[in-house]
Amino acid sequence: MGKFNVLEHELVPEHYLVSEDEEEEILKQLGVKKEQLPKIKKSDAVLRVLERKYGHIPVGSLIKIVRKSPTAGRIVVYRVVVRD
Amino acid sequence: MMKRAFGLTKRINSIKFALLSPEEIRKMSAVKVITADTYDDDGFPIEKGLMDLHMGVIEPGLRCKTCGGKVDECPGHFGHIELAMPVIHVGFVKNIKNYLDATCRECGRIKLKDDEIEIYKQKIEEAKKMGASPIQLLLINKKIIDEAASRPICPHCGAEQKKITLDKPTTFREEGRKLTPKEIRERLEKIPDEDLPLLGINPETARPEWMVLTVLPVPPVNVRPTITLETGERSEDDLTHKLVDIIRINQRLRENRDSGAPQLIIEDLWELLQYHVTTYFDNQTSGIPPARHRSGRPLKTLVQRLKGKEGRFRSNLSGKRVNFSSRTVISPEPFLSINEVGVPEAAARELTVPIAVTAHNIEKMREIVRRGPHPQGDKYIPGANYVIRNDGRRIKITERNAEDVAKKLEIGWIVERHLTNGDIVLFNRQPSLHRMSMMGHLVRVLPDRTFRFNLAVCPPYNADFDGDEMNLHVLQSEEARAEAKILMLVQEHILSPRFGGPIIGGLHDHITAMFLLTYQNPKFSREEALHILSYLNYDKLPEPHRDENGNEFYYGKDLFSLILPKGLNMEFKSKICDPTVCNHKCVYEKCPIDAYVIIRDGKLIAGTIDENAIGSMKGKLLDRIAKMGSDIARKFIDDLTRLAIGVISYRGFTSGIDDEDIPEEALIQIHEIIQESIKKADELIELYKQGLLQPAPGRSLEETLEMEIMRVLAHARDEAGKIASRHLGLENPSVIMARSGARASMLNLSQMAGSIGQQSVRGQRLHRGYQDRTLPHFKRGDLGAKARGFVESSYKKGLSPTEYFFHSMGGREGLVDTAVRTSRSGYMQRRLINALEDLKVDEDRKVVDTAGNVVQFLYGEDGVDPTRSSGGENINMEEVLTEVLGEKYLLRRRK
Ligand SMILES: [Mg+2]
Ligand SMILES: [Zn+2]
Ligand SMILES: [Zn+2]
Ligand SMILES: [Zn+2]
């Protein structure tokens, strides 16, 4: 049996690792510094699944989350990986 | 002139909390207080007493003996009391307990091995480097303390530890034996500085033994001033009273200790001293009776000064009293625009607007100043109360000096002139639960003593006129006035951000009047039409129709169309629509009850204007017009309310209890239906008793029975209502109000005419009261309708005694519910506001906190301002299509 993948659960939104090249542009577009973004812990179950796909994800990486929204349908939000 | 600072001038970097050491308390003390007396017989402060002049002055004429300042110059200085025996500081009992638990009773070391100490110290350091919050650090300390407290033997000296318990509020016991504060202090003294960081103490700023007091600071007299009553009687502050108690007991304790009194007496006095010091800090400490004033009122001591709604924080720091404000009873005035507020002349003459004198207005300002503070004459004209000169000096204008001051007036001075028509002010009604609770209004100075406004503005303030009072604030700067006019004016708040629909609109009589004006399109003679339209600012009558005799007349719908904006096209169902009339197949303009509204190019073609068109919160027509712009919307609502008053006061409209008269046969019929239902309920009970009742899925037999009975009885009430309704037609004033949505509902009417129906508490039939029965009038275990709160009578007929009692039970629940709901939601609101007050939407619609941290990447995730939305939606396709395609779309939409 394969490992359990939280991303496949209905209640867990889509998560992607943002590549380093894109990072700068996204931050510029949002007009914020990285520390001002919401956070996601390094130990988050989703990150463990993402590491299987992308390899090691260092602290400070940007995670893109696409989730359902009752007002907007689909929205994109970003979180920065922090140590726990 | 006031200096204005924009942006941040200072930013708090950090706050350090520390403890006062006994030496520090002595060092900052201006006097050692030794007598409990305050003033001598001449009323002069006694030296070394609680009002010693070294601690500051509160009486004019005297000088402070510490700094030499007079009353307003001296800030006050602390004194101190040397305690004969140490006492515990109530604010720190929890800390003391922790420290006693975590350290060795013999050697004072923390009960952790050296290597553990090292690990924990590193952990704390690391957390600090990571920028951990004080709360996170506290959690680490708590963990360390718990770990150390669990060791039964000291890892340093090997001493066996004893269990320490805390007897609230301040008594510590070690295996039952009482520990005196002195012993506790000695133990805390033994804890070495190196171990303190593990306990959450910074040894550079605090020592644990300082939590046991040996010296008590006495606050400056400015903090606890003596009140002199009109009778010349002096009355001391509660804090002073408490300090008197402390000094008295302290003295007795010292005398007894020095004269070698029995241990028992000393212990008693010591405990009494502890009590007084404890209540001096917090007079609501649980476990001890609060210290009381001679009158029996509990004293307000230090904690009481800070805590709660009336405490320093909420009452003096978060909220302040303001000038240029007024408060009075409100009353309605339909001839004011929704943007206006009627201000009584007396208030207008007190409230002032500062006007800078310039080359352009100096003559006008001279004239205003010349009028003085009380201009005479029939018509209200503004005068002025003060002028402020260039040097900042404020001159009061009196009748005497008015002429003089007016002459001297110079450019650059400021004239504080009376409020006058057209000034913008803020108007507010508490509780201020949403932003529409405080809106900008334009002043209209009126006679009499109440604030007045248009009735359409009641819903946003949640105001009525049963004695409600409201507050009015006069803006003092040009910027504030501009902001108020652009952002806060009533017309900018017609659409509520709560649901994206109109919150300001027609209500009660407005709806009734519009119904009367438009339902079945009544005819009005020229005189009638003129009278009605005289309430509006229209100088031209529409083109008249002519009847068979050649007399001119006007249709009600045409009169209504006068106030509609041009180019408006829409269709919707009226509130009075009853699908049974047309067999659930709407016939639109041919509707027999005129319940389908059709508007073409701002003309009402068909349908009745009622709550669904103009009601606040529900009005579809209002909603559309509100979105055409605030000026158009304001004009429409102003016209609507005036037209409504015109119609209803011309025609007259009265409701009485005889509205609910129904024929004798109907009453008999209702009675029969109810009797039948009661019988049906009895049959169900019989079935249940015989065990023949089938339980509904997922329910017990009893629940099933209750459900069935409720269903049968509810059906009975509905049937009774239906019969009553049959005799209550649309010519009946009560029915007009209920059906048009003006006030009340058909249910209310059927309860008056037919039957009130089942009373309930918590959604169940009444069942409590006496043993196995609701009232002693019934047999025990009676499950029948009448025994369980079914009220057969109507309000009109009157209730039987048992019915009356049941009705009160049901009514009580409603009252309790609202009382509980308001207090609970008030607290929830407070917490929500405290959590969200600093969030803002920035330039690119992100929601951020004060530090710029992102809370939401786009406001509401869709970036939509609900006040500019259609019921919260971005775009209302219906509106867009109607706008573009006009009638073509509206006709196609019908299918
Ligand atoms: Mg009221
Ligand atoms: Zn002084
Ligand atoms: Zn030890
Ligand atoms: Zn119809």
User: What pLDDT is recorded for position B8?
Assistant: 64
Q: Kindly tell me if the per-residue pLDDT of B333 is higher than 90.
A: yes
Interface contact flag, A32 B860, Cβ < 8 Å: no
Ligand with an atom nearest the CA of residue B465: 1
User: Tens digits of per-residue pLDDT, B657-669?
Assistant: 999 999 999 999 9
Burial zone of B358 (CB within 10 Å; 0-12 exposed, 13-18 middle, 19+ buried): exposed
CA B244/CA B239 separation, integer angstroms: 9
Instruction: Name the token pair of B427.
Output: 């108007």
For B817, other C-beta atoms within 10 Å of its C-beta total 10
Distance B165 CA to ligand 3 centre (A): 19
A72 touching chain B per CB within 8 A: yes
Interface contact flag, A78 B848, Cβ < 8 Å: no
- Report the SS3 class of residue B110: strand
For B757, phi then psi, to 5°, come to 95, -170
Per CB-CB distance under 8 Å, the chain B contacts of A75 are 857-858, 861-862
Is the preceding omega at residue B169 within 30 degrees of 0, hence cis? yes
Q: Kindly tell me if the per-residue pLDDT of B446 is higher than 90.
A: yes
Of B852, B863, B872, the CB nearest to A32: B852
For A67, phi then psi, to 5°, come to -130, 165
CA B637/CA B643 separation, integer angstroms: 10
- The most confident of the ranges B134-138, B650-654, B718-722 is B650-654
- Report the SS3 class of residue B735: helix
How many angstroms away from the CA of B853 is the closest CA of chain A? 4
Q: In what order do the strands lie in the sheet with A14-17?
A: A14-17, A62-69, A73-82, A39-41
Cβ atoms of B789 and B714 closer than 8 Å: no
Helix or strand run (H / E) with residue B343: strand B340-344
CA B92/CA B112 separation, integer angstroms: 23
For B87, phi then psi, to 5°, come to -135, 155
User: B456: which DSSP letter?
Assistant: G
Interface contact flag, B854 A31, Cβ < 8 Å: no
User: What pLDDT is recorded for position B1?
Assistant: 42
3-state percent breakdown (helix, strand, coil) of chain A, nearest 5:
30, 30, 40
How many angstroms away from the CA of B425 is the closest CA of chain A? 36
Domains of chain A (ranges plus CATH)?
Answer: 6-82 (3.90.940.20)
Give the C-alpha distances (Å, rounded to integers) separating B687 from A82, B361, B677: 68, 91, 15
Per CB-CB distance under 8 Å, the chain B contacts of A72 are 858, 860-863
User: Tens digits of per-residue pLDDT, B94-150?
Assistant: 999 999 999 999 899 999 999 999 999 998 988 888 777 888 899 999 999 999 999
Instruction: Name the token pair of B237.
Output: 């502050």
Interface contact flag, A69 B861, Cβ < 8 Å: yes
Distance B515 CA to ligand 4 centre (A): 16
CA B559/CA B789 separation, integer angstroms: 51
Interface contact flag, B858 A32, Cβ < 8 Å: no
What CATH code is assigned to B509-651?
1.10.274.100
Q: Which of 838-857 (B) contact A at CB < 8 A?
A: 844, 846, 848, 851-854, 857
Q: Which of 2-41 (A) contact B at CB < 8 A?
A: 30-33, 36-38
- Report the SS3 class of residue A16: strand
Of A36, A71, A76, the CB nearest to B854: A36
- pLDDT, average across residues B391-413: 93
User: Tens digits of per-residue pLDDT, B672-698?
Assistant: 999 999 999 999 999 999 988 888 899
Interface contact flag, B861 A38, Cβ < 8 Å: no
For B97, other C-beta atoms within 10 Å of its C-beta total 17
User: What pLDDT is recorded for position B524?
Assistant: 93
How many angstroms away from the CA of A37 is the closest CA of chain B? 5
User: What pLDDT is recorded for position B793?
Assistant: 92
- The most confident of the ranges B168-177, B440-449, B878-887 is B440-449
**Would you say the pTM of this structure is higher than 0.90?**
no
What CATH code is assigned to B657-816?
1.10.132.30
Confidence of residue B329 (pLDDT cuts 50, 70, 90): very high
Confidence of residue B6 (pLDDT cuts 50, 70, 90): low
Per CB-CB distance under 8 Å, the chain B contacts of A36 are 848, 851-854
The DSSP-derived string for B694-727 is PPPTT--HHHHHHHHHHHHHHHHHHHHHHHHHHT
Per CB-CB distance under 8 Å, the chain A contacts of B851 are 36
Domain spans in chain B, listed from the N-terminal domain onward: 91-208, 325-493, 509-651, 657-816, 840-881
In words, the CATH class of domain B325-493 is mainly beta
Confidence of residue B10 (pLDDT cuts 50, 70, 90): confident
